[in-house]
Amino acid sequence: MPKHEMLKNNKTKFLTAATAGGLATVIAALCFVFFLPPLKGKQTDVQLPLQTAANWSFAVIGDSLLNTENQGYGLQYKENTRKALQQIKQKNIQLILATGGLTESGKAEEYELFLRLTAEAYADGPAPVILAAQGQNELASTGAIGGRGFKSSMDTAPFTHSVINGLHFITLSANKTTGQPYSAGAIAWLERQLKKAESDASTMPIFVIAPLPASNTIVGTDGSETAGSNALQKTLSKHHRAVLISGNSLRPQIHERMIDQNTFTAIGAQGLSRLALDERFFDPLRDSNTAIPVNLTKSPYFLIFTYSTTQLNVIRWNVSANTAEDNTWRVRLPFDPEKPQYGLNTRQAQNASPTFPDQQIVFVTNIKNDRGRLLDGVSFSAASDDAEVVAYEIETINWLNVSTAKQYAADSFAGKKNSAKTVTLALDPTLPSGDYTIRVYAIDAFGAKSGSFLQATGTHKKLP
């Protein structure tokens, strides 16, 4: 029976039971369910068709945040997910991992939408195996009951340990609605599963799929932006074979710090919905600082993992361009914690600062903000970097030689195929009117600032 048909049958059975049992019975049942521990599935062993254990691929999606709205963001999120699933199917991938946030609020009809989109994409072939974690947002309105709704809808428990083609996959779901999403019991369960996976005396990676990253791993998880999980960090640090694949950060997939290696490997999945950028970035087009770019929904990504016994390739797939980014991450196997090629310190030591290959820059006065008002600023040729340029810093120096500086998000989150070759940035419209010298610097993913700068002069007019 197709999963979406099973979903309908389960909903019918629940409603029938509620009507027959009466309101008092339903209330008692809900109170009992609320205090139950998280649902855990039995360990399963699956052999996928069309693949070999020595060389095969699987896809990772994150934070599709599906809802049933057919307008605005709801419609865009649905289309992003539809395109991604179709492209995954075109690549003959039969295993999909979801890092949490499949739906906006954990409603049955939202999960049904995901299953329907998957069925449409795989209409002419066998349905894929889907291993999904449940995100904290999907628990917010239903508490522990959400785990049971998730199991009913997705036909899988929120906490599972599967062996597929010889590889271990552990899904760790959120089970707390506030604060850190993982309870002490959930972390203890993860520890037991990791030990079970390690009992095979293998050197193969153990994949952990979770809705929130570990602290001090990928970009933003040092506590200054996206608070990662300290408990998850502590547990995984004892298991070198672990490869954590997490969602929820909503950071750009193209960011070179979305992968990290220290005592284990951590990889972030941007997702299929919206982006959230570093809160320090300035956006005068919105008259405010913002963590959300103007085209926040237009650059969805998923990941393709290609596994062999000696290397794990992680391909960042640009859904809007329907192409892979050029810079694939290549993780050597087995992982040696003494030689982490994607460790932050290692990469910073090897990193080169951004440069400006083209020195073109002009002062402009025709930049429209979100209210249709014209702002002045600069237009210049984009910088380049051995990793990627994540930001530009604009320094404005007035006639008294007093300078101010603000950082702007680069459009690198759109990917190399979609990012602009010419960058246009508006000055702070609240600056006092007057003549200014304007200097532009580039900043890369590891915080390195360009040694040189572009410079222009212009007469700025403060907006009334």
- What pLDDT does residue 54 have? 55
Q: What is the CATH number of domain 361-460?
A: 2.60.40.10
Q: Are 110 and 140 in contact (CB under 8 A)?
A: no
CATH 2.60.40.10 domain position(s) in the chain: 361-460
Q: Is the pLDDT of residue 30 over 60?
A: no
CATH 3.60.21.10 domain position(s) in the chain: 38-350
Buried b (16+ CB within 10 A) or exposed e, 81-116: bbbbbebbbeeebbbbbbbbbbbbebbbebbbbbbb
State if pTM tops 0.85.
Answer: yes
- What pLDDT does residue 226 have? 67
Q: Which of 285, 293, 288 is nearest to 376 (CA)?
A: 285
Buried b (16+ CB within 10 A) or exposed e, 277-311: bbeebbbbbebeebbbbeebbbbbbbbbbbbeeee
Q: For CA atoms 85, 89, 93, 94, give the dihedral sign.
A: positive
Q: Is 45 helix (H, G, I), strand (E, B) or coil?
A: strand
Q: Are 88 and 96 in contact (CB under 8 A)?
A: yes
E strand map for 382-433:
389-397, 403-409, 422-426
Look up residue 447 and give its DSSP letter: S
Q: Is the pLDDT of residue 50 over 70?
A: no
Distance of CA 98 to the CA centre of its chain: 11
**What is the rounded average pLDDT of the residues 85-110?**
94
Q: What is the mean pLDDT of the chain?
A: 85
Cβ neighbours of residue 105 under 8 Å, at least 6 residues apart? 67, 137, 138, 140, 141
Q: Is the pLDDT of residue 294 over 70?
A: no
Distance CA 268, CA 252 (A): 9
Q: What is the CATH number of domain 38-350?
A: 3.60.21.10
E strand map for 95-141:
95-98, 129-132
Q: Is the pLDDT of residue 416 over 70?
A: yes
Look up residue 26 and give its DSSP letter: H
Look up residue 51 and give its DSSP letter: -
- What pLDDT does residue 46 have? 54
- Token readout for 98 is 């979801």
Q: Are 361 and 423 in contact (CB under 8 A)?
A: no
If pLDDT is split at 50, 70 and 90, which confidence band does 24 have?
very low
Look up residue 54 and give its DSSP letter: T
Instruction: Kindly report, residue by residue over 342-369, the tens digit of the pLDDT.
Output: 999 999 999 999 999 999 999 999 998 8
Give the end-to-end CA distance of the chain in Å, rounded to a whole number: 65
Instruction: Kindly report, residue by residue over 434-453, the tens digit of the pLDDT.
Output: 999 999 999 999 999 999 99
